[in-house]
Amino acid sequence: MGEEIKYSEEELISRLKEREQQAFSYLYDHYAGALNGIICRMVEDPQLAEDILQEAFLKVWNNFAQYDSSKGRLFTWMINITRNLTIDTLRSKGYKKQRQISKDENSVSNYHDKNFGADQFDTIGLHKQVANLKPEQRSIIDLAYFNGYTQEEISKEMGIPLGTVKTRMRAAIVELRKMLEFS
Amino acid sequence: MNTKDIISSGLLELFVLGMTNAQETAQVSEMAALYPEVLAEIRAIEMSLQSYAMLHAVQPATHIKKTIFSRLSATNEQKTNPVVPVVSISPFWKYAAAASVILLVGSIVMNVNYYRSLEISKSEKQQIEQQLLAQERVNDEMKNNLSIIQSKYSEPVSLHGLQAAPDAAAKIFWMKNTGEVYIDPSNLPEAPEGMQYQLWGIVDGKPVDGGLILKTKKDNKYRILKMKSFGKAEAFAVTLETAGGNPTPKGDMYVMGKM
């Protein structure tokens, strides 16, 4: 796949504003996997997950004029669209907000040993890079970023006071940045 | 809140995660616009979360991309055409008859809409073609002008404004190989009603008629013009004469320049 082309974020954005399908193809090749990853965390039904991925990309394409690069990076915008779309879709179908593997891990104690059922994603490589993140730090990031939990929901799920969600999130992401060298 | 406080508060992390309320979002956006260090912090948070998401990527099935792209063009086409509701037809004849009337009406509506959008596209196409043609003419003219200016044989002579119009200016391009004379009169003031500019070459100390400087018919402006040729000239001047010009200069001299 188009390995010879490499767009900078700025160039990609301006080409998408010009509605270039080639740029959209590039966008898909680079980000579909990451967006699909979060959908698959929330949606068990593979057909429904596919539908949501399609809708998310169509939404990105159709609403691209609304994207404002001064408000955030392109990926941040796309993941917000994808997460909200997934939550709305699940809600409209009567699902509650949930993680994909939820049957056997309702209790707080579970995320210490089960890592919130994220194990299936934790195959080979990730894993070294963020392996040193404490389980509860990973959980707080994952609940918010991949599952769209609100502060209240995180507080309930993890059994921590509502007032500490913000500072714990900060601490967890600071740790993540150190590991990924974005500090 | 100062920048250090906002950075350490965790609010920026919540902002990137889409967890802030409208008021907090506005606050963070404002701080980010004002303080580069806040913006840099937000970008670093975004980058780290983006990489984190990449690490968790799950490649979708290959057919999905195709489906999305086929729907891309489909949604583009649909924009101008309303979706007609599907009518279910009952087995009874009277319902069938009613349904066919509805379908007919629907089809007429669609036809009218198609026709209208076709007409719109036609007139848009015409408009664009005209614009293109006009643009091509402008391009040709510019290419011509440029070739005069860029020619290795062209010797430019600046004509400077005199008392009658100190701000006026003009440029002569004298082609050394052919002796052709071009003038760029675009910086001359508008000639008054009933008057026209005339170019003179000063040859052996005497003015020789170089022709009238006319505006283009197309946009009524002074553009680069080809004038009469002189064998050689020591200087050039432009005077304002009665319309049609004069055999010898009678009016005020506007610009002048020596070779």
Q: What is the mean pLDDT of residues A138-159?
A: 93
The pLDDT assigned to A60 comes to: 95
The answer to whether residue A105 scores a pLDDT higher than 50 is no
If asked whether residues A109 and A128 sit together in one domain, one would say no
The pLDDT assigned to A84 comes to: 93
Tell me the three state secondary structure of residue B201: strand
The answer to whether residue A35 scores a pLDDT higher than 90 is yes
The answer to whether A172 and A141 have CB atoms below 8 angstroms apart is yes
- A-B interface: how many C-beta pairs under 8 angstroms? 133
One-letter amino acid for residue B91 of the chain = P
Q: Alpha carbon B68 to chain centroid distance?
A: 33
Please report, for the domain that includes residue A47, its CATH number.
1.10.1740.10
How many separate domains does chain A show? 2
Asked if B69 reaches chain A (Cβ–Cβ under 8 Å), the answer is yes
B22 contact residues in A (CB cutoff 8 A) = none
If asked whether residues A175 and A140 sit together in one domain, one would say yes
The answer to whether residue A56 scores a pLDDT higher than 90 is yes
The kind and range of the H/E element at B105 are helix B93-150
The pLDDT assigned to A54 comes to: 95
The answer to whether B180 and B199 have CB atoms below 8 angstroms apart is no
**Which backbone phi and psi does A95 adopt, to 5 degrees?**
-80, 150
The kind and range of the H/E element at A132 are none
Best mutation target among B20, B55, B75 (most A Cβ atoms within 10 Å) is B55
Please tell me the distance in Å from B167's CA to the nearest CA on chain A: 43
Residue by residue, DSSP assigns A160-180 as --GGGHHHHHHHHHHHHHHHH
Write the ipTM. Answer: 0.83
The answer to whether residue B96 scores a pLDDT higher than 90 is no
Q: What is the mean pLDDT of residues B9-19?
A: 94
CB-nearest partner of A180 from B51, B57, B71: B51
If asked whether residues A105 and A30 sit together in one domain, one would say yes
The pLDDT assigned to A104 comes to: 37
| C-alpha span between B33 and B19 (Å, rounded) | 19
Residue by residue, DSSP assigns B211-249 as EEEPPPTTTS----EEE---S--SEEEEEEEETT--SS-
Asked if A32 reaches chain B (Cβ–Cβ under 8 Å), the answer is yes
If asked whether residues A102 and A48 sit together in one domain, one would say yes
Please report, for the domain that includes residue A127, its CATH number.
1.10.10.10
What is the span of the domain harbouring residue A37?
1-113
**Which of the listed residues A95, A113, A131 is the one where a domain comes to its end?**
A113
If asked whether residues A126 and A179 sit together in one domain, one would say yes
The answer to whether B202 and B209 have CB atoms below 8 angstroms apart is no
**Which of the listed residues A71, A91, A113 is the one where a domain comes to its end?**
A113
**Partner-chain contact B53 A176, CB within 8 Å:** no
To 10 degrees, what angle do helices A135-145 and A151-158 make?
A: 150
**Which backbone phi and psi does B174 adopt, to 5 degrees?**
-100, 120
Q: Say what the pTM is.
A: 0.54
| C-alpha span between B17 and A141 (Å, rounded) | 9
Asked if A146 reaches chain B (Cβ–Cβ under 8 Å), the answer is yes
Asked if A81 reaches chain B (Cβ–Cβ under 8 Å), the answer is no
Tell me the three state secondary structure of residue B203: strand
**Partner-chain contact A73 B47, CB within 8 Å:** yes
